[in-house]
């Protein structure tokens, strides 16, 4: 079935821990949904310190435990991303603030917090930065990404009706 397509960019600070997890989990969640072939996604960081790097080993381990692969390499968000992506989905409030600084004014409404798609989370909830923390923190990020991905897929399906 042909139809409009939607593109989603997941954004965190370094693009090595949370947003590559979000991107991979969201892509996995899309499998089997009626919009699977009409949604594309990527991830990027608001800072450039890790550009070109593979995701953090704990992100890779947690994804592997869930049977999910990723070939992502870190990159930094650019102004062009606001033209290329319909939705910019941030992990925390600092990411939203950084995105708003570089966003063309008319695109600011397309920036959201990832956990705002999870109806079981209070509005404004963040995906906490696991950088420097043990595996349990990365497993928590995975759980939050899985819930928010379910909600985002549901929202995108509803928008197409």
Which of 56, 147 has the CB closer to ligand 4NP? 56
* Active site (annotated) includes residue 12: yes
CB of 45 to ligand 4NP, least distance (A): 6
Closest to ligand 4NP by CB, 122 vs 132, is: 132
Count Cβ neighbours within 10 Å for each residue of 85-122 and write b for 16 or more, e otherwise.
Answer: bbbbbbbbeebbebbeeebeeebeeebbbbbbbbeebe
Binding mask 117-156 vs ligand 4NP (x if CB under 6 A, - otherwise)? ------------x-x-------------------------
Strand order in the sheet with 87-90: 39-45, 6-12, 87-90, 111-113
15: three-class secondary structure by DSSP = coil
Give the tokens for residue 64: 């592997």
Classified as helix, coil or strand, 88 is: strand
Stretch that binds ligand 4NP, among 6-14, 23-31, 98-106, 115-123 (CB under 6 A): 6-14
Known catalytic residues are: 12, 18, 129
Binding site for ligand 4NP (CB under 6 A): 12-18, 49-50, 129, 131
């Amino acid at each position: 079935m042909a139809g409009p397509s939607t593109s989603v960019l997941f954004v965190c600070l370094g693009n090595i821990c949370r947003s590559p997890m979000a991107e991979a989990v969201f892509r996995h969640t899309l499998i089997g949904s009626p919009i699977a072939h009409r949604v594309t996604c990527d991830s990027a960081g608001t800072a450039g310190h890790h550009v070109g790097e593979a995701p953090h080993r704990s992100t890779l381990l947690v994804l592997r435990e869930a049977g999910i692969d990723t070939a992502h390499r870190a990159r930094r968000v650019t102004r062009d991303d606001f033209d290329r992506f319909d939705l910019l989905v941030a992990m925390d409030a600092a990411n939203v603030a950084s995105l708003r600084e570089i966003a063309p004014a008319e695109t600011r409404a397309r920036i959201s917090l990832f956990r705002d798609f999870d109806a079981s989370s209070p509005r404004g909830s963040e995906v906490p930065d696991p950088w420097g923390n043990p595996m349990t923190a990365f497993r928590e990020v995975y759980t939050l990404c899985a819930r928010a991905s379910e909600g985002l897929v549901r929202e995108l399906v509803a928008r197409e009706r």
